[in-house]
Structure 1
Amino acid sequence: MAAGTIRYWAAAKSAAGTAEEPYEAATLAEALEAARRLHAGQPEFARVLLRCSFLVDGAPVGVRAHDTVTLAPGGTVEVLPPFAGG
C-alpha cells in the first residue's frame, strides 16, 4: 500500500471541496474508490470523476484499467476534468 497525494483541478476541486488530499492505496482504482467514499456526501464529486482524466506521477493513465495502474510511495495522482479550450 502506497501513500501519496491526490490533486484536484477545476470542477474536480470544486466538487471535492479541496485542492488536494492524501491517499493510501496500491492502485489508482483503490485511491479513487477511497476518495468516492470520503466524499460520499457530495454527489457532484462522483459525477465529476466519471468525466475526468488522470495523471499518475506526471504520466497519463489514458484508457488503462484503473486497477492495473499501480501507485508508488510518495506519488501524486492528478484529477483533471475536461477543460474548455483545450
Structure 2
Amino acid sequence: MAAGKIRYWAAAKDAAGVAEEPFEAITLGELMTKITQNRAELARVVARSSFLVDGSPVGKRAHDEVVLGEGSTVEVLPPFAGG
C-alpha cells in the first residue's frame, strides 16, 4: 500500500473541507472510494473531476488501473468555468 498526499482544488477543496490530506491506497480507484465514504458532496464533485498523479494526467484510464507509488501526489481538479 502506497502512502502519499491528495490535493483538492476549487470545488473539491470546498467539499473536502481541507486543501490536502494524506492517503494510503494502492490504486486511484481505491483512493477515490476511501475519500468519498461518508462525504456525499465530495463524491459528487469527484465524479466529474479530472486527476493528476505526480503531475501526469490520468485521462480516461480506469481508476482501478492507475497504480499509486510511494510518495505520490494526487490532485483533484474539478471542471473550471470560463473560456
Interval containing the TM-score (normalised by the shorter chain): over 0.9
| Corresponding residue number in structure 2 for 1:62 | 59
1:79 corresponds, among 76, 80, 83, to 76
| Corresponding residue number in structure 2 for 1:45 | 42
Percent sequence identity over aligned pairs = 67
Q: Deviations over 1:38-79 (max 9, x none)?
A: xx1x42111111110000000000000000000010010000
Structure 2: gaps of 5 or more residues: none
Q: CA deviation at 1:35?
A: 0.5
| Corresponding residue number in structure 2 for 1:33 | 33
Q: One-letter code of the match for 1:11?
A: A
TM-score, normalization: structure 2?
0.95
Aligned CA-pair RMSD: 0.9
Q: CA deviation at 1:85?
A: 2.0
Find out whether 1:17 has 2:17 as its counterpart.
yes
Q: Give the secondary structure class of the aligned counterpart of 1:15.
A: helix
Dislocated runs of 4+, deviation >4 Å: none
TM-score, normalization: structure 1?
0.92
Q: Give the secondary structure class of the aligned counterpart of 2:30.
A: helix
Structure 1: gaps of 5 or more residues: none
